[in-house]
């Protein structure tokens, strides 16, 4: 090996060592609907920055309760904009760090092709015995489902058929497993690269429910963690935004 090549190798190893020394880890509480895009973003984040994001998925309501009980989360990616604002007001999150990373969309979905029509008329069919949705007290998508049913004038008729899940992930799994013929889920769970995957779906018109603004915030435990700050910055980059859009979210 010549001296020039030896020097380059040494410099490369030194740079790698420095990068590893500066790398940090951040604990991130992520709304369940954002599971797939955040897994992809976290992998890109680690590759591009050296920082590692440890992801925990669940309902926004439960995360709020856990954060208030001193859970070690450092960044929250909520399924609403109210919870981050509330945490800032209560002193549990960093003022000025809140921003909207995605605007979610509600969809009525079935694993069976052709079952769900393009106007949601399937909700009125007597042969539909079970309709899954997430707990509206814990999950904004569940609250949106209730709003949509009431706006359509079918809530009273559908209510006896509703199967409540703890999270939007569980609501989706109820349909996949056949425990519910149809269910209200997040578009991101059934959408990728410009199209709905398997099954049949109706994207619920946005005027039937309150806008689902999904906000991120740095929590009090993450205010001194460089990885927390860098992750929030990373979510605002075009690379991360492209991933978010690919799962059907608006920005």
Q: In terms of residue numbers, what domain contains 16? A: 3-103+213-246
User: Is residue 99 a part of any domain in this protein?
Assistant: yes
Q: Rounded to two decimals, what is the model's pTM?
A: 0.84
Q: Are residues 17 and 60 in the same domain?
A: yes
Sheet bearing 52-58, strands edge to edge: 52-58, 25-31, 75-77, 212-218, 99-104
Q: Are residues 34 and 54 in the same domain?
A: yes
User: Is residue 189 a part of any domain in this protein?
Assistant: yes
Q: Coil, helix or strand for 131?
A: strand
For 162: left if phi > 0, alpha if psi spans -120 to 50, otherwise beta; the answer is beta
* pLDDT value, residue 22: 66
Chain centre distance of CA 145: 16
Q: Are residues 97 and 217 in the same domain?
A: yes
* pLDDT value, residue 231: 98
Q: What is the pLDDT along the chain (251 residues), one digit of tens a residue?
A: 555 555 444 444 444 433 444 689 999 999 999 999 999 999 999 999 999 999 999 999 999 999 999 999 999 999 999 999 999 999 999 999 999 999 999 999 999 999 999 999 999 999 999 999 999 998 999 999 999 999 999 999 999 999 999 999 999 999 999 999 999 999 999 997 788 888 999 999 999 999 999 999 999 999 999 999 999 999 999 999 999 999 999 99
* pLDDT value, residue 156: 97
| CA Rg value for the chain | 21
User: Is residue 199 a part of any domain in this protein?
Assistant: yes
CB within 8 Å of 200: residues ≥ 6 apart: 109, 110, 112, 113, 114, 115, 116, 117
Q: Are residues 35 and 90 in the same domain?
A: yes
Number of separate domains in the chain: 2
CATH of the domain at 226: 3.40.190.10
Spatial separation of the C-alpha atoms in residues 134 and 44, rounded to whole Å = 30
């Amino acid at each position: 090996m010549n001296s020039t090549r030896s020097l380059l190798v040494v410099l490369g190893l030194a740079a790698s060592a420095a990068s590893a020394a500066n790398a940090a880890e951040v604990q991130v509480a992520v709304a369940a609907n954002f599971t797939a895009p955040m897994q992809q973003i976290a992998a890109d984040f680690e590759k591009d920055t050296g920082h590692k994001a440890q992801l925990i998925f669940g309902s926004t309501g439960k995360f709020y309760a856990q954060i208030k009980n001193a859970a070690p989360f450092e960044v929250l990616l909520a399924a609403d904009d109210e919870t981050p604002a509330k945490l800032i007001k209560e002193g549990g999150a960093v003022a000025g760090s809140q921003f909207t990373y995605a605007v979610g969309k509600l969809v009525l979905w079935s694993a069976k092709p052709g079952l769900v029509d393009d106007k949601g008329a399937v909700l009125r069919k007597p042969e539909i015995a079970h309709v899954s949705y997430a707990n509206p007290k814990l999950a904004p998508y569940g609250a949106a489902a209730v709003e949509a049913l009431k706006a359509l004038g079918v809530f009273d008729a559908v209510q006896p058929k509703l199967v409540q899940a703890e999270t939007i992930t569980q609501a989706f799994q109820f349909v996949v497993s056949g425990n519910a013929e149809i269910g209200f889920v997040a578009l991101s769970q059934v959408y990728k690269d410009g199209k709905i995957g398997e099954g049949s779906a109706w994207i619920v018109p946005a005027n039937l429910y309150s806008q689902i603004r999904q906000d991120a915030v740095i929590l009090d435990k993450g205010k001194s963690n460089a990885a927390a700050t860098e992750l929030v910055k990373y979510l605002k980059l075009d690379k991360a935004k492209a991933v978010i859009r690919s799962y059907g979210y608006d920005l």
